[in-house]
Amino acid sequence: MRGPHNIWRLIRTGATLERTGAMNFVLDAFEAPKAVRLVARALAIPFKPLGYKGDPSLQPATRALTALGPAYIKFGQILSTRPDVVGDEMALQLRVLQDQLPAFPVEVAKAEVEKELGQPVDEIFSEFSPPVAAASIAQVHKARLRSTGEEVAVKVLRPGIEKAFRKDVDAFYLAARMVELFSPGSRRLRPMDVIEHFDGVVRGELDLRLESSSASEYAANTKDDKGFEVPSIKWDYSARRVMTLGWASGVPMGDNAAIDAAGHDRVEMSERILALFLQHALRDGFFHGDMHQGNLKVAANGNIIALDFGIMGHIDEYTRRVYAEILYGFIRKDYKRVAEVHFEAGYVPADKDVDEFARALRAVGEPIFGMDADRISMARLLAYLFEVTERFGMETRTELILLQRTMVVVEGVARSLNPQMNIWQVAAPIVTDYIAKSIGPKAIISDLTKTARVLSRFGPRLPALVEAALIRQADASPPPRQPFKRYIFLAAMLGAAGATGVIALVSALS
């Protein structure tokens, strides 16, 4: 489906914003410069009649995004958590995108359930309600299992959602190509890689078997986390387009009045949700990638309940350490170390000056740390950091896109509970604890142990590897001094074998 015909999709995007009255609203929310406003209006106004009309009962921004399709809705969901970025009015308008979108008929949902599970709905469930929540990808029904009487939530994908998302994402690919073509300076941002990353996330979200698996793993990782819950998956009643899990009763995270009425401490809760996210990202390397208010509830006992596991983030242990060291460096105002970490990880080209980069980072960090608590923002830090890294030729790290985006979303949720929250005070003990465990002496022993286990598996193959290496050296017809190098190579291989044995022994004893 990719190709020039997607230009039409991009044109209709601007035309829809203009027709629904959202163009000026969006430009004002983002404080767009005059030049950008002129270009946007010049491109949109001539095509205004071609834009989607949308639902006139909705507010302009919400009306435009719902008319444009699921990928745009997903973008709006992210913005709804950032009143400090788009303003309170727009954030409030976009809040309905989280779980209050138009639903499809319950009869259609039942037909999907029967098709996927191979049984009539009445044989599986004694009760099956109309939709209780509807989002961009799927909607949820409250039901009761006939076999046990347990209340459950049944998530059903929207009919035709796969095709609709494919159309949106194809247009995004075209936009990324156009950016690379007409703005060479943007290539360091790897827009095509960014869209490919988004595409992969979406594909995973459209297979509820993968979401069920993610929810199960997430629940196992967090079972001992105080004040946090993940509903259990009902595997017998889950498939590609249907997922069944335990029903979660609670107050919506976005309803501060209801949270206050229930007697919960919003200040403590704001700190807890940020701390939990950092723990999951750093400790487990597996975190909820879509933690907006629509995917969170507050139980009667005050526990935070996570829902919707279609977008989950995974970062390997090395990347976790790099990210933690960067955060730790900013927390301690050790900008030289932050700069060194960027260079060590290969994030900044080696031909740049590390001291100059450190000074640029200081210009990022110091003004932020001098702000009042209610003005300190991860979004602001990432925006400033983006400007600095652009100057030093740092490429976009696609493996960190979801982590950084979710960090901003979680901060937005936390600030909606407590605008005075100081994110650095909350983050400091989590990051410091992780640094102590992952980079200190215990971490070195752990790394050696893991290395020994890997090397020990190759122990029986070492003689053959040495022989093959010597044969390759001999076949290369080396110059006169090469035999001496072969002996050095042989000694090194034998030394490696001996080291493997020693480390393996340490591993066994530990």
Instruction: Report DSSP letters for 49-114, one per residue.
Output: GGS----TTS-HHHHHHHHH-HHHHHHHHHHTT-HHHH-HHHHHHHGGGTTBSPPPPHHHHHHHHH
Q: Tell me if 132 is assigned to some domain.
A: no
Phi-psi region of 232 (alpha: psi -120 to 50; beta: other; left: phi over 0): beta
| CB count in 10 Å sphere of residue 217 | 16
Same domain, yes or no: 264 and 396: yes
pLDDT (average), residues 472-498: 51
**Confidence band, pLDDT 50/70/90 cuts, at residue 440:** low
Q: Is the dihedral of CA 225, 313, 81, 203 positive or negative?
A: negative
Same domain, yes or no: 409 and 362: yes
Distance CA 91, CA 87 (A): 6
pLDDT (average), residues 87-104: 71
Same domain, yes or no: 414 and 474: no
Same domain, yes or no: 26 and 49: yes
Q: When comparing pLDDT for 367 and 67, which is higher?
A: 67
Residue 100 has pLDDT above 80, yes or no: no
Q: Tell me if 49 is assigned to some domain.
A: yes
Same domain, yes or no: 425 and 463: no
Q: When comparing pLDDT for 7 and 273, which is higher?
A: 273
- Phi then psi dihedrals of residue 422, to 5 deg: -100, 105
pLDDT (average), residues 411-419: 88
Q: Which of 439, 457, 474 is the last residue of a domain?
A: 439
Q: Tell me if 229 is assigned to some domain.
A: no
- 340 alpha carbon, distance to own chain's centre: 25
Same domain, yes or no: 295 and 375: yes
- For 316-330, letters b (16+ CB in 10 Å) and e give eeebbbbbbbbbbbb
Same domain, yes or no: 367 and 476: no
Same domain, yes or no: 328 and 452: no
Q: Tell me if 127 is assigned to some domain.
A: no
**Confidence band, pLDDT 50/70/90 cuts, at residue 42:** confident
| Alpha helices, H only, 317-397 | 317-332, 335-344, 354-369, 378-391
Task: Dig out the tokens for 10 from the structure.
Answer: 């991009």
Q: What is the pLDDT of residue 398?
A: 60
Same domain, yes or no: 387 and 435: yes
**Confidence band, pLDDT 50/70/90 cuts, at residue 490:** very low
Annotated catalytic residue 99: no
Q: Tell me if 27 is assigned to some domain.
A: yes
Distance CA 21, CA 106 (A): 32
Please tell me the least confidently modeled range out of 54-68, 266-280, 467-481.
467-481
Same domain, yes or no: 267 and 343: yes
Q: What is the pLDDT of residue 504?
A: 38
Distance CA 502, CA 455 (A): 11
Task: Dig out the tokens for 355 from the structure.
Answer: 């001291």
* Residue 151 β-bridge partners: 144
- 167 alpha carbon, distance to own chain's centre: 22
- 344 alpha carbon, distance to own chain's centre: 24
Q: Tell me if 364 is assigned to some domain.
A: yes
**Confidence band, pLDDT 50/70/90 cuts, at residue 221:** very high
Same domain, yes or no: 410 and 493: no
What are the pLDDT digits (tens) for 260-277? 999 999 999 999 999 999
Q: Which of 387, 419, 439 is the last residue of a domain?
A: 439
What is the overall mean pLDDT for the chain? 80
Q: What burial class does residue 452 get, using C-beta atoms within 10 Å of its C-beta: 0-12 exposed, 13-18 middle, 19+ buried?
A: buried
Residues 84, 99, 168, 290: which is the catalytic one? 290
Residue 385, domain extent: 249-439
- As for how many domains the chain has, the answer is 3
Q: When comparing pLDDT for 178 and 486, which is higher?
A: 178
- 7 alpha carbon, distance to own chain's centre: 28
Is the distance from CB of 438 to CB of 324 less than 8 angstroms? Answer: yes
Same domain, yes or no: 22 and 48: yes
pTM exceeding the 0.75 threshold for the entire prediction: no
Q: Tell me if 238 is assigned to some domain.
A: no
Q: Which of 4-8, 310-314, 486-490 has the highest mean pLDDT?
A: 310-314
Q: In which residue are the tokens 């929310």 written?
A: 29
**Confidence band, pLDDT 50/70/90 cuts, at residue 323:** confident
Distance CA 256, CA 298 (A): 11
The DSSP call for residue 22 is: H
Is the distance from CB of 116 to CB of 240 less than 8 angstroms? Answer: yes
Q: What is the DSSP string of 269-317?
A: HHHHHHHHHHHIIIIISEEES--SGGGEEE-TTS-EEE---SSEEE--H
Q: Which of 97, 128, 159 is the last residue of a domain?
A: 97
Q: What is the pLDDT of residue 29?
A: 64
